[in-house]
Amino acid sequence: MFISFITILFIFTQRVLSYFDPLPSCGVPVVYTNGYTDFSATILNCSLVMPSALQIPSYWPGQPPTPIEVQFVLHHLIAINDVSQDMVIDVTTRLTWTDSRWSMNYLISELNVNQQDYGIALDSLIAGGDLLIWLPNMDFVDEVEREDVSESTMLMSNGTIYWTKRSVVTLSQEQMDFHAYPLDTQYLNIKIGLSSLPYNMAAINFTDPAVVFTNEVGGSNSFAENDLWTYKGYVSSTEFVNEGTVNDPQYFSYGLVTITETRIGDGIIARLGIPMTCIGILTVLV
């Protein structure tokens, strides 16, 4: 009964203080009987006493836009389809932002080395449906089809959150140019946005580098190992797009990575040599 009263008093106090400080950090930890902190219970308690825990930090009046740092990890270039004009890639999207409401620096001395370096895993709490936390609703703008492979959320003691999602995604590439075919170079876009969040609430920025590649055993770049295309490089940029009207502008933040791929000799043989050979054989048989 006493413990319940203390908990209720703590929650009430946090609610009152939230009117004066709309972004308070997490409060007192929940401790096991052996003196160690129960991180899961502490994080759950934080989400319960945190005002509007499901809202982005910039939701509160007077708060600046929340910077969302973006990085793409390119695993495999699965296909570039000439006919349907799309690209299929295996990609991990990394988003990073800081929410001071989740700051728990007072616990840093109790974190193990792995937790200090990479954060506290929140996946089980999120999967259980008990944790109240804002997570971004990230969209690939030109998405045709997507299969999500894995997702992970890590919380650092200073309130920085690392969110990653690996997906196999098909992206429309209507800008493809075939004037130089079969010796063509294609500029392929990966563009993302944050659904329903105007630029005054969230702003996309790319990390440096904006794109990294996974290496297979032996150090080879798996993304570059494609029989038809050679990777040449990429450029990244961000922009604000008005999706409203002139009289009622509504700007949203987008991030764009453009990858340069050049068709290689093997690709030309595969695209032209094999069909021509088949035609020749059919001609002889007829």
pLDDT tens-digit map of 197-208: 888 899 999 999
pTM score, whole prediction: 0.79
Cα 81 to Cα 12, 270, 272, 276: the distances in Å are 59, 13, 15, 20
Across the range 58-68, mean pLDDT stands at 87
In this prediction, residue 249 has a pLDDT band, given cuts at 50, 70 and 90, of: confident
HSE on the CB side for 229, CA within 13 Å? 25
Give the E-state strand segments of 60-201 in sequence order: 66-81, 86-98, 120-121, 138-140, 143-155, 160-172, 185-198
Residues 6+ apart with CB under 8 A from 183: 263, 268
In this prediction, residue 151 has a pLDDT band, given cuts at 50, 70 and 90, of: very high
pLDDT tens-digit map of 106-127: 777 777 777 778 888 999 999 8
Across the range 39-58, mean pLDDT stands at 84
Residue 280 confidence (pLDDT): 66
